[in-house]
Amino acid sequence: EDKVVQSPLSLVVHEGDTVTLNCSYEVTNFRSLLWYKQEKKAPTFLFMLTSSGIEKKSGRLSSILDKKELFSILNITATQTGDSAIYLCAVATGNQFYFGTGTSLTVIP
Amino acid sequence: DAGITQSPRHKVTETGTPVTLRCHQTENHRYMYWYRQDPGHGLRLIHYSYGVKDTDKGEVSDGYSVSRSKTEDFLLTLESATSSQTSVYFCAISGVHSYEQYFGPGTRLTVT
């Protein structure tokens, strides 16, 4: 059975902290891993990772994939209150997508 | 934002009634998807389409059917709604050469 597991389930940090969100997966026919941010509405796309060891970066957010150990991490540095959201990890296998249940991040001023 | 709209945005219906949700895109993307999102389960794929009249089942397809007669429209039908189908439904689109998906605003469906 294909599955995607995210940890931690929730996280509360203070502004300025750095956080690391985890995503592990067990799937057949892995094609790509994706990260999304969801703020009480539709998920918005952050990153797509296909190759191991290549970091994707966008501002204070970065992500990397390890295809040997079957996991990815999403780092957020210098967190701001606007980073408060649920972060979703998904794995694409052919035309199917499997999502984790998400990590809920709360950033306190 | 990608040009994706969903209708209706909210619906309350009774058990046993048929319900159709519509997803409309203006991006001319080939792939379209229907998901449901429930607490504790995250997003789960119901059905997807890889072209006009070409559809396939996802992880949780029982009780749902879909149709795609035009590139821009993807319909999700609950033939006989049940309370277990109370959920938020999201449509998504993606292009041929990328797994990046862009989501519509969602439809909140309540089955009483």
Q: How many independent structural domains does chain B possess? A: 1
What is the three-class DSSP state of A82?
helix
Tokens, residue A25 = 């997966």
Q: Which residues of A touch B44 (CB under 8 A)?
A: 99
Residue of A32, A95, A102 with shortest CB distance to B42 = A102
- % of chain B exceeding 70 in pLDDT: 96
Return left, alpha or beta for B16; rule: phi > 0 is left, psi -120 to 50 is alpha, else beta: left
The pLDDT value recorded for residue B40 is 84
Residue of A42, A44, A97 with shortest CB distance to B106 = A42
| CATH code at position B62 | 2.60.40.10
Q: Hey, are the CB atoms on B100 and A48 less than 8 Å from each other?
A: yes
Tokens, residue A68 = 């040997």
Per residue in A36-79, pLDDT (tens digit) is 999 988 999 999 999 888 899 999 999 999 989 999 999 999 99
As its CATH architecture, domain A3-104 has Sandwich (2.60)
Domain assignment of residue B9, given as a range? 4-111
HEC per residue, B82-101: CHHHCEEEEEEEECCCCCCC
Per residue in B59-108, pLDDT (tens digit) is 999 999 999 999 999 999 999 999 999 999 999 998 777 788 999 999 99
The pLDDT value recorded for residue B2 is 62
Q: CA–CA distance from A10 to each of A13, A98, B85 (Å)?
A: 10, 20, 26
Three-point CA angle A38, A74, A39, nearest 5°: 10
CA nearest A66: which of A57, A75, A76, A55? Answer: A55
Work out the minimum CA distance from A63 to partner chain B, whole angstroms: 15
Q: Hey, are the CB atoms on B103 and A44 less than 8 Å from each other?
A: yes
* Average of per-residue pLDDT values in chain B: 94
